[in-house]
């Protein structure tokens, strides 16, 4: 495994750069679609915080999980643990420098979200109760909340108009996690996942199709929210569905990285903003 020549896409995933890229791009995209300018500090803070969380999660997974539950990203983090810890320290310093430049309202909302995420980490990693939480769904909701906070904090009047797109984006992020879980545990998910997760995994194709249709309708009909947001969610949903239908044609690592790659659809619409 360690001697294989890996692609740039694989390293993007193994270095935990995929989630920060998705989060930072969508944070910028949502603000820009609503004619809100975010400072570089806000985007740097998003990238650093998300990278640290994902690195911590993967390092803790190595300590908590049985070897049969670990994937290549976990072994990669374990082999390079010292380098990731140094990177985390550097990211912490960067975050400390840029945080004072973040608006107070956004900080308040992030503190609330941070408390929920901390509680999630405690339940998942410090107890034996991981199976009691629908992890994939919880991650999707928290990820979407973090991405929308900078925009609604700067313009609270957008909370209601952006509620539907935020819920759809949360569904997209949850589906991303659910597809990955299904691909990585094809024979065991019915016995190991939370009942709510199991129910969703049984209808992934249908849920993804519904999300694509709902997002398209939001883009076409709901004039309170910018149409590029619903369009990007719809295209990403279609991308996930195509990956799922062609999963047998891809290496597991490539498939896992591609699941995040198809979430970069805002880049396709950036010139329309």
Angle, helix 163-184 to helix 252-261, in steps of 10 degrees: 180
pLDDT tens figures, 188-244: 766 666 788 888 888 999 999 999 999 999 999 998 999 999 999 999 999 999 999
Alpha-carbon distance of 74 to 55, in angstroms, equals: 10
Work out the number of other CB atoms within 10 angstroms of the CB of residue 119: 10
Residue 2's pLDDT band, with cuts at 50, 70 and 90, is very low
According to the model, what pLDDT value does residue 273 have?
Answer: 82
Which residue is associated with the tokens 């049969």? 68
CB-based contact 232:206 (threshold 8 Å): no
pLDDT band at 1 (very low <50, low <70, confident <90, very high): very low
Query: What pLDDT, on a 0 to 100 scale, did the predictor assign at position 266?
Result: 97
Distance between start and end Cα atoms, the chain: 43
The 10s digit of each residue's pLDDT in 100-146 is: 999 999 999 999 998 888 877 776 666 555 555 677 888 899 999 99
CB atoms < 10 A from the CB of 193, how many? Answer: 21
């Amino acid at each position: 495994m360690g001697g294989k020549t890996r692609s740039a896409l694989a390293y993007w995933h193994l270095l935990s750069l995929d989630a920060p890229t998705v989060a930072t791009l969508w944070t910028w995209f949502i603000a820009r679609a609503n004619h809100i300018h975010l400072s570089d500090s806000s985007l740097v803070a998003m990238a650093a915080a998300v990278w640290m969380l994902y690195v911590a999660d993967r390092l803790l997974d190595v300590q908590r999980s049985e070897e049969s539950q670990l994937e290549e990203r976990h072994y990669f983090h374990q082999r390079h643990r010292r380098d990731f810890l140094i990177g985390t320290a550097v990211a912490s310093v960067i975050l400390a420098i840029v945080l004072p430049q973040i608006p107070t309202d956004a900080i308040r909302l992030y503190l609330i979200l941070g408390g929920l995420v901390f509680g999630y980490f405690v339940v998942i990693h410090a107890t034996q109760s991981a199976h009691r939480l629908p992890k994939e769904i919880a991650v999707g909701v928290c990820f979407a909340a973090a991405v929308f906070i900078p925009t609604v904090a700067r313009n609270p009047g957008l909370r209601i108009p952006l509620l539907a797109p935020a819920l759809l984006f949360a569904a997209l992020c949850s589906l991303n996690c659910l597809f990955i879980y299904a691909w990585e545990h094809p024979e065991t998910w019915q016995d190991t996942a939370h009942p709510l997760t199991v129910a969703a995994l049984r209808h992934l194709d249908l849920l993804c199709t519904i999300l694509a249709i709902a997002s398209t309708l939001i883009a076409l009909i709901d004039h309170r929210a910018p149409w590029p947001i619903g369009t990007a969610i719809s295209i990403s949903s279609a991308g996930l569905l195509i990956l799922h239908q062609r999963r047998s044609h891809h290496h597991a690592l490539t498939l896992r990285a591609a699941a995040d790659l198809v979430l970069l659809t805002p880049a396709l619409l950036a010139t329309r903003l």
